[in-house]
């Protein structure tokens, strides 16, 4: 299965439908990371709360991003102890990350133009969100090499020859 995901579908179909069904691991890769909120009934809550609940339920979460998020994100982040103290949550910063993607349990993936922000993922109003496109797939021929590439990044295999190592705030290797 391969399906085109456009605009608000990032939010309604991926964040609201697919992500909550994750059982083993979730990898999130984004260049920009902001204070994204998601609806829970009639109210909106920080997306970090969703990640915290996943971690607390045993899902291992890896979050890669290119730059430090803003102060509102950091305030929300500090409200979730599972994201601070739990071995099931890892956050890595790499200034060269420009790709955007989510991998769910190694058997579904979204490869997208959308950053992990309200405007990117479509949680903002219709007139304030970005125009985004992505491919949602369960094809191993796409997911496996994407995962291998992200794992190489996670393990620091790309760090040794990185031309930006001198400006990297936290080299992986």
Q: For the chain, what is the mean pLDDT? A: 88
Are the C-beta atoms of 122 and 7 separated by less than 8 Å? yes
Tell me how far CA of residue 155 lies from CA of 147, 148, 150, 151, 173, in angstroms. Answer: 12, 10, 9, 6, 7
Give me the pLDDT at residue 58, please: 95
What's the DSSP call for residue 68? -
Give me the pLDDT at residue 124, please: 62
Q: pLDDT tens, 24-76?
A: 999 999 998 887 888 877 888 888 989 999 999 999 999 999 888 888 888 88
Closest alpha carbon to 123 in 50, 34, 37: 37
Q: pLDDT tens, 83-102?
A: 887 789 998 888 888 999 99
Residue 112 exposure: Cα atoms within 13 Å on the Cβ side: 34
* pLDDT tier for residue 117 given thresholds of 50, 70 and 90: confident
């Amino acid at each position: 299965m391969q399906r085109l995901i456009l605009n608000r579908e990032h939010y309604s179909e991926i964040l609201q439908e697919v992500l909550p069904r994750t059982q083993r691991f979730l990898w999130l890769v984004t260049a920009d990371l902001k204070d994204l909120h998601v609806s829970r009934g009639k109210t909106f809550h920080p997306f970090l709360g969703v990640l915290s609940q996943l971690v607390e339920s045993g899902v291992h979460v890896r979050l890669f991003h290119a730059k430090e998020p803003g102060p509102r994100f950091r305030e929300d982040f500090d409200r979730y102890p599972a994201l601070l103290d739990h071995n099931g949550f890892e956050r890595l910063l790499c200034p060269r990350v420009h790709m955007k993607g989510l991998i769910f349990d190694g058997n579904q993936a979204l490869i997208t133009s959308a950053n992990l922000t309200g405007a990117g993922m479509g949680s903002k109003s219709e007139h304030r969100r970005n125009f985004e496109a992505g491919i949602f797939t369960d094809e191993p021929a796409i997911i496996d090499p994407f995962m291998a590439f992200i794992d190489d990044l996670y393990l620091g295999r790309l760090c040794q020859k990185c031309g930006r190592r001198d400006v990297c705030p936290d080299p992986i290797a």
